[in-house]
Structure 1
Amino acid sequence: MTSIFPELSFSSMSATDWLGALLIAALAFILGFALNRGSICTVIATADWVLRKRPARSIALLESALWAGVVYAILDVAPFMPAGWLPIEYLLAGAILFALGSYVNGACVFGSIGHIGNGDIQVSLVFVGIFLVTFVEPIAKLLPEHPPLSLPLLGGAMLFVGLIIVVVGIRFFLARRDRANFRVLTVSMGLIGVSFATLASVAPLFSITASIEAVVSVPVAGAVAVMGMSLGSIASSLLRNRAFRFKLPTWGGMLRHLTGGILMGLGAVLIPGGNDTLLLTGFPGAAWQALLAYVVIVGVLATLIAGFGSKAMAWGD
């Protein structure tokens, strides 16, 4: 698979490499902006469904996957996984761990980017926790072989467009009392799906879950992607709130986010991938493993939220 992901340091970049990095930065900025503006993640969507009987956000997440499918189909690029699916026992264990980590953190990888943009900087420790796990080489050596995998698309662009129309129509009916948020969520889901799939097409190693690891393994692209997503999320917050509201970290909060990140990292190693991979790579690629893992993640989150409540809250509410 062709990639413009610059596997070099800043000092050795050519003009073409700089153009590639600029493209990655722009796409990452759009992705971060949309993640913040959509005020959405799997934890928030599940809490909305369980506690408030509002399934619209859960349905909207499917839209982002369908928009990603449109991009893959138009670009004629197969959704690519740097590491293939592990056997089902690892997959299930990984989904449970990822759900536990997301619950402890109070947000999945989507929501974490959104919270960082809103000034909750301590949430960034979730990515440090993920990095601490995913970058430990001995863990990978304990797992079965799972070479890179290209997934067959679910269908052509017109099929994905047709499914988007159906899904948006269902959500429009369910969200009839909140038309303003409906429009924002619709545009945000489109931007998330399009920007992520385009990034993944030109830079196949890209993943929100592994973005911190990429700073070390692929310095230029990793640093540019992390910075672009963070700035995009902050820009979205500034447009909404007119000011950047920095929240002072606490020892308890930092420990919680770091612990959540470690659990999410363990889950991402065993699946492999986080909810971004499942939704925006696995779903368009018609992977039953992605559907199974995501259903388990949502099921575990729903059980925890129903039993213990949730501090997850959409910042746009």
Structure 2
Amino acid sequence: MSEFLINISDMGPVAASLETRASMALIAALGFVLGFAMNRGSICTVTATRELVSERRPARFIALIECAAWAALVYAIVETAPKTQEGWSPLGYLVPAAIFLGLGTYVNGACVFGSVGHIGNGELGFAFTFLGMYAVVYCEALLDLLPHQPPTSAPPSFELALLALALLAIVALRLAISRRSESNFRQLTLVMGAIGITSAILTILAPGFSISASVGPIASIPVASALISVCMFGGSLVSARLRRHGFLLEWPTMATIVRRTLAGILMGLGALLIPGGNDTLLLIGFPTGAWQAALAYVLFVATLAALIVKFGSMARPWS
């Protein structure tokens, strides 16, 4: 599909127009489902880390790996390798980038998944997190300060049958662990599947898309990034409205604006240097077996865990 869009000028004007509209409609629908699922699942790496280190509950971390397994399954089924516009950075950039990402996520109180969900709940302060991230991406694109790595495209690391068995094993493990403590097992399973599947398909249709840097240029469809972002936040908003009887917008204080913007800048720096936020690490790096993604994610989570143990969690309760 994405190759077709890149070469759309080779088609007749009528066919090209119809194909473009159909592709945009599909991208919009997938973006909506992605945002809806993020809000409905209340899934966030900060929450998962807090539950792991403070409450010894690993179920949400297992769910995040489950999400990555769903994405890998999609890549294997369609036999299409996920592509990144920039290759993984060398260790000199990767290590501090992961620490920046962890520090910014801690200050923010939510990762990119959780931030989308909080915005859907009406917590407008989290919009400044994305403003900070986008400012970093925009400034780097304007000034071209960093060396660029060649794009990477690695095929999924495992066979389809092995991925399916691994996914079943992950779900079974989470069921065994969360049987007594997790009341929403079925909903979380559906949410992880929805996020993994829609993210993988969006990565194929719009190569290079990242929630953490979605104002960056998209080579194949210039407006795809903005369309996905708008529909994603719209889906999160609709999800919150459906599961809550009342809905109020929470206007941020000046202190909240400063903190969220600073957090977004730190998260943006990390995502720029890796390149990619925790969404890219989980949904592109893990399925392709990239050791750089595994290392960055471990350092990112370790930074979060150390800060939570030392200072406590700054995560907002899920509304």
TM value normalised by structure 1: 0.92
In structure 2, C-alpha distance between the alignment counterparts of 1:289 and 1:147, rounded to whole Å: 15
SS in 1 for 2:3: coil
Moved more, 182-191 or 279-288: 182-191
1:64 aligns with 2:67: yes
Tell me how large the CA RMSD over aligned residues is: 2.3
Alpha-carbon contact 2:107-2:314 (below 8 Å) kept: no
Query: Which of 229, 234, 247 does residue 244 from structure 1 map onto?
Result: 247
1:295 to partner: Cα distance:
0.3
In structure 2, C-alpha distance between the alignment counterparts of 1:236 and 1:4, rounded to whole Å: 31
1:242 to partner: Cα distance:
2.7
Q: Which runs of structure 2 are paired with 1:301-316 in the superposition (5 Å)?
A: 301-313=304-316, 315=318
Query: Which of 10, 16, 21 does residue 19 from structure 2 map onto?
Result: 16
In structure 1, C-alpha distance between the alignment counterparts of 2:43 and 2:117, rounded to whole Å: 8
SS in 1 for 2:211: coil
Letter of the structure 2 residue corresponding to residue 315 of structure 1: W
Other-structure match for 2:231: 228
Q: Percent identity over the alignment?
A: 49
In structure 2, C-alpha distance between the alignment counterparts of 1:297 and 1:242, rounded to whole Å: 36
1:262 aligns with 2:273: no
1:126 aligns with 2:126: no
In structure 2, C-alpha distance between the alignment counterparts of 1:137 and 1:6, rounded to whole Å: 28
1:290 aligns with 2:293: yes
Letter of the structure 1 residue corresponding to residue 289 of structure 2: A
Q: 1:150 to 1:303 in 2, by over 3 A?
A: same
Other-structure match for 1:35: 38
Q: 1:231 to 1:188 in 2, by over 3 A?
A: same
Letter of the structure 2 residue corresponding to residue 243 of structure 1: G
Letter of the structure 2 residue corresponding to residue 2 of structure 1: E
In structure 2, C-alpha distance between the alignment counterparts of 1:295 and 1:25, rounded to whole Å: 32
In structure 2, C-alpha distance between the alignment counterparts of 1:214 and 1:243, rounded to whole Å: 38
1:181 to partner: Cα distance:
1.2
1:50 to partner: Cα distance:
1.3
1:229 to partner: Cα distance:
0.4
1:114 aligns with 2:129: no
Query: Which of 45, 50, 54 does residue 47 from structure 1 map onto?
Result: 50
In structure 2, C-alpha distance between the alignment counterparts of 1:128 and 1:122, rounded to whole Å: 10
In structure 2, C-alpha distance between the alignment counterparts of 1:242 and 1:199, rounded to whole Å: 32
1:227 to partner: Cα distance:
1.1
TM value normalised by structure 2: 0.92
**Runs of 5+ consecutive residues of structure 2 not aligned to the other structure:** 9-15
Structure 1 segments of 4+ aligned residues over 6 angstroms from their partners: none
In structure 2, C-alpha distance between the alignment counterparts of 1:119 and 1:4, rounded to whole Å: 35
Alpha-carbon contact 1:67-1:190 (below 8 Å) kept: yes
1:110 to partner: Cα distance:
0.5
Alpha-carbon contact 2:206-2:221 (below 8 Å) kept: no
Other-structure match for 1:10: none
Other-structure match for 2:256: 253
Other-structure match for 1:145: 148
Moved more, 206-215 or 145-154: 206-215
In structure 1, C-alpha distance between the alignment counterparts of 2:71 and 2:140, rounded to whole Å: 31
